[in-house]
Amino acid sequence: MARRHSHGIPPVKCHAKAKSTGEQCTQWAVVGGTVCYHHGGWAKRAVRNSEVRVTQAQLLEQDPRHPWQVVLDATHMMDAIVRDFQTQLTAGEVITPEQFDRLFNVNQIRHHRATTAISTKAHEQVSLAFIRLSTM
């Protein structure tokens, strides 16, 4: 079993490869990152992405649900928000530019969540879990 940092994220090797030899870097990636500090692990964007991964790992550790269930729940929540906006539009309510931007951003996140759920086969995993529970 892989050793984990106190943040809940297992250590990974840097994903950078040498241009001349094509060999992978042997350094450890920064916590939550995919590359070491030599290959940009301390760049602002990399640090920001690492912080997001660490936060997500900490939240998932606290959540008793399986990560696939979390993805499905997030997808359902995004769908509920979009349906609420659609209801407002069909009722003739005026939507402000800020609300429209929020709707657009929510749709992007919803698309990402659905893609993640499909690529991780979350729906199959949850279905199998329900089948196992119902047969007990």
**pLDDT tens digits, residue range 35-79?**
999 999 999 998 888 888 888 777 777 777 776 777 777 778 878
| Residue where one domain finishes, among candidates 30, 47, 62 | 62
Give the pTM: 0.47
Do 35 and 91 lie in one domain? The reply is no
- What's the domain count of the chain? 2
Yes or no: say if 54 and 34 are a contact pair by the CB < 8 Å rule: no
pLDDT of 6 higher than 80: no
Do 101 and 130 lie in one domain? The reply is yes
Do 96 and 43 lie in one domain? The reply is no
Domain of 70, in residue numbers: 64-134
Instruction: Check residue 35 and report its DSSP letter.
Output: S
pLDDT at 94: 80
Taking the C-alpha atoms of residue 79 and residue 88, their distance in angstroms, rounded to an integer, is 14
pLDDT at 129: 61
Query: Which of 27, 29, 25 is CA-nearest to residue 54?
Result: 29
Instruction: Check residue 29 and report its DSSP letter.
Output: P
Percent helix, strand, coil in the chain (nearest 5)?
60, 5, 35
pLDDT of 119 higher than 80: no
CA 117 vs. chain centroid, Å, equals 10
* Helix 67-90 vs helix 122-134: crossing angle, to nearest 10: 110
